[in-house]
């Protein structure tokens, strides 16, 4: 549940607006960065999970949709160890990602107390849009490939049936020709 959000400056190449504000994650209120995307929640969550896996971050816990990575070093965001949390929510066809970076003991990163890390989190959330779009395109192409494979399999079956029918007709023609020129049986 959002209490309030302050818009951050967005970059010209990105149309995703990243906001900063208090968010309730689980039972705690945390200072979070949020971005809303026009992508499916499952694809967004899958891309986030893959990014965390690629960064070799180990998930500490998962409670009420909040993914926690405690005492993790995430070079894309900060050179020092910290706690990272995220939650993915979807409403009316839009998916919102809430990302929290903490230096430990509820010392949340904000634009005022750590501008460099805040800027990296903002950039990460903005680049995420392109990654999600690419993943959706890949999934769409995979669906199209499966449809083509099914169509090809059906056509192969039809071709095989047609070849069998052609062979059967050729055999009938040979039999008819053989009987056409055969001498009549003698009685």
Domains and CATH numbers, the chain: 2-139 (3.30.530)
Q: How many CB atoms lie within 10 A of CB 21?
A: 17
- Report the C-alpha gap between 100 and 5 in whole angstroms: 14
User: Which tokens belong to 68?
Assistant: 């926690």
- Report the C-alpha gap between 158 and 129 in whole angstroms: 43
Q: Give the contacts of 25 (CB within 8 A, at least 6 positions apart).
A: 32, 66, 85, 87, 98, 100
Residue-by-residue pLDDT tens, the chain, 187 positions: 444 444 444 333 447 999 999 998 878 888 999 999 999 999 999 999 999 999 888 888 888 889 999 989 998 888 889 999 999 999 988 999 999 999 888 789 999 999 999 999 999 999 999 999 999 999 999 999 999 999 999 999 999 999 999 999 999 988 888 887 666 677 6
Q: Give the contacts of 87 (CB within 8 A, at least 6 positions apart).
A: 23, 25, 65, 66, 67, 97, 98
Q: Could you identify the residue written with the tokens 């199209």?
A: 144
Residue whose C-alpha is closest to residue 96's, from 21, 154, 177: 21
Q: What is the pTM of this model?
A: 0.73
């Amino acid at each position: 549940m959002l209490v309030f959000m302050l818009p951050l400056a967005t970059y010209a190449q990105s149309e995703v607006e990243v906001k900063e504000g208090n968010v309730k994650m689980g039972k705690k209120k945390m200072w979070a960065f949020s971005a809303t995307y026009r992508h499916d929640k499952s694809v967004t969550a899958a891309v986030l999970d893959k990014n965390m896996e690629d960064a070799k971050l180990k998930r500490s816990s998962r409670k009420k949709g909040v993914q926690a990575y405690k005492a993790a070093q995430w070079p894309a965001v900060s050179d020092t160890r910290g706690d990272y949390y995220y939650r993915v929510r979807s409403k009316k066809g839009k998916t919102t990602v809430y990302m929290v970076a903490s230096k430990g003991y509820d010392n949340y990163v904000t634009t005022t107390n750590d501008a460099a890390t805040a800027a990296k989190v903002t950039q990460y959330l903005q680049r995420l849009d392109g990654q999600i779009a690419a993943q959706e395109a890949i999934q769409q192409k995979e669906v199209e490939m499966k449809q083509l494979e099914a169509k090809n399999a059906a056509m192969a079956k039809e071709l095989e049936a047609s070849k069998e029918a052609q062979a059967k007709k050729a055999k009938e023609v040979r039999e008819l020709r053989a009987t056409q020129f055969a001498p009549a049986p003698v009685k």
